[in-house]
Structure 1
Amino acid sequence: MFDRCNDKALTVVSMCDDVPPAPERRSDARNLSILKAAILRTALGEELCLVRNISRGGLMAHIFSELEVGDPVKIEFRSSKIVRGRVVWRRPELMGVRFSQFIDIGEILTDPKPQPSHAARAPRVTVNVPARLRSGGRYQAAALGNISQGGARIYLSEPDRLGDDVVLSVAGLPVLTGSVRWRDDTAAGIAFSELLAFEDVGRWVSSHNIGVPPQLVE
């Protein structure tokens, strides 16, 4: 079963070159506390994953899709660094990936410094899903453009008529209250009042098979 935890926990780092092995049953409880969020791109689409263990040569991560051994993957970290590799072992909700080349772990795992007045944010996955937005007593049809645990981008016809506080409704997700952080002629950025559980948003994205085309993975 998936371990409910947040992406502020530490990730286990190994200085060896091997792919992290699947966890032993007896050590699962000790090892499940070390997670870092990333975006996983595969032939099935784009989703969120949690990196549990990483080395110069590979990683172990929680995933939600049905990948198979040999499948190519791309993993984008919060540092904006993208690593390519292939799945070399699978367990229920776990995978091991061998990178196509050795990585600089420090460079990969170092979060970028946020720009002035902008806090670092959780990884956002690209989506295209109908939604409904309420601002005050007024409703607007909208399209969800991306989503993370803490916020979303929405597209709508009249973003200029939004108030500061909004309620976002998306099929399959709990009703999301939040505040408008920015807007332009076609879109707005929403910060949720409370973080979504990683498992909830991860499974929702995976179930919709939303993401990049397969040809972008190789």
Structure 2
Amino acid sequence: MSVEPFSPQPSEAASFSVDRRAPETKRLVTTLLVGRLLFAGTDGLCRVRNISTGGARIETPATLAPGDPVQVELRGDIVLAGHVRWTGPGVVGMEFVQPIDTDAVLHGAQSDTDWHQRMPRITTQCPVTVRQHGRIVHADMLDINPRGARLANLQWPLAEGLFTLNIPQLEPVEGTIRWCDNDMAGIQFTKPILYSALAEWLQSSPTRFALR
């Protein structure tokens, strides 16, 4: 007696599809991580909206295309490598080169004693001014993230207390000194710079590398 090949009915096929995706869905983690996106020899600010063992949804103002190789650097000096799988307005889907441990990415591996919470910094070469106690100090900004920046070639040392950092084409931001070394200083903003404003500035402002 001949037996016809098994062909599931639409309702059965749907149940198989759901079952097949269920394990992957459980590994999906909704998050909101700010990171550094590296692509085509440059970099910029990005935001990871959700992440799984195989990929992530990335918010970025950068123009990318499916197949483009990209890397995302997150807090803890974690770097995720992969390529663009799909694109949409202000967002891309990233597929990782190999599966990742989402818990280790989000919270650090138990054996990793060097893991830290600091956001990656984005490289700049931009002239800035610092206003403090009625005095204006000229400096160069070497890197920045929404919570702080690193300055070099300070015209005069900064004093303890609050000051205002003026970055061309961005709103003035208030900050304090985290560390200083001769004519260099690390500063922390009292209020983070709005992600959308900083991401767009890093992507399109001609002042980002004005000192090159």
What amino acid sits opposite 2:182 in the alignment? D
Q: 2:75 aligns with which of 73, 78, 83?
A: 78
Q: C-alpha displacement at 1:34, in angstroms?
A: 3.9
C-alpha change, 1:84 and 1:15, in structure 2 (3 Å) is: farther
- Using the size of structure 1 for normalisation, the TM-score is 0.73
Q: Name the CA distance, whole Å, in 2 between partners of 1:125 and 1:15.
A: 36
C-alpha distance in 2 between matches for 1:103 and 1:159:
46
Query: Letter of the aligned partner of 1:155 in structure 2?
Result: A
Alpha-carbon distance, 1:163 to partner:
4.2
CA deviation profile, 1:12-65 (whole Å, cap 9, x unmatched): xx9629xx8xxxxxxxxxx9x842211111115211111112111111111111
Give how far 1:160 is off.
2.9
What is residue 118 of structure 2 aligned with on the other side?
Answer: 121
Which range moves more in the overlay, 87-96 or 177-186?
177-186
Contact 2:137 2:156 (8 Å CA) reproduced: no
Please say if residues 131 and 143 of structure 1, whose CA atoms lie closer than 8 Å, have aligned partners that are also in contact. Answer: yes
Structure 2: gaps of 5 or more residues: 1-21
- Specify the SS of the correspondent of 1:79: helix
Q: Which position in structure 1 is the counterpart of 2:24? A: 16
- Which residue of the other structure, out of 73, 84, 87, is the alignment partner of 2:84? 87
Match of 1:130 in 2: 127
Percent identity of equivalent pairs: 30
Match of 1:152 among 124, 149, 153: 149
Shift of 1:128: 1.3
* Aligned match for 2:139, one of 125, 139, 142: 142
SS at match of 2:193: coil
- Is the contact made by 1:159 and 1:188 (CA closer than 8 Å) also made in structure 2? no
Query: Is the helix fraction higher in 1 or 2?
Result: 2
**Aligned mates of 2:32, 2:100 — CA distance in 1:** 18
Contact 1:160–1:184 at 8 Å: present in 2 too?
Answer: no
Q: Which has the larger radius of gyration?
A: 2
Task: Give the one of 191, 200, 203 matched to 2:200.
Answer: 203
> What's 2:163 paired with?
166
Amino acid at match of 1:188: A
DSSP-derived class of the 1:203 partner: helix
What RMSD, in angstroms, separates the aligned Cα atoms of the two structures?
2.8
List alignment gaps of at least 5 residues for structure 1: 1-13, 21-30, 212-218
Q: Does 1:194 align with 2:191?
A: yes
Give the TM-score taking structure 2 as reference length.
0.75
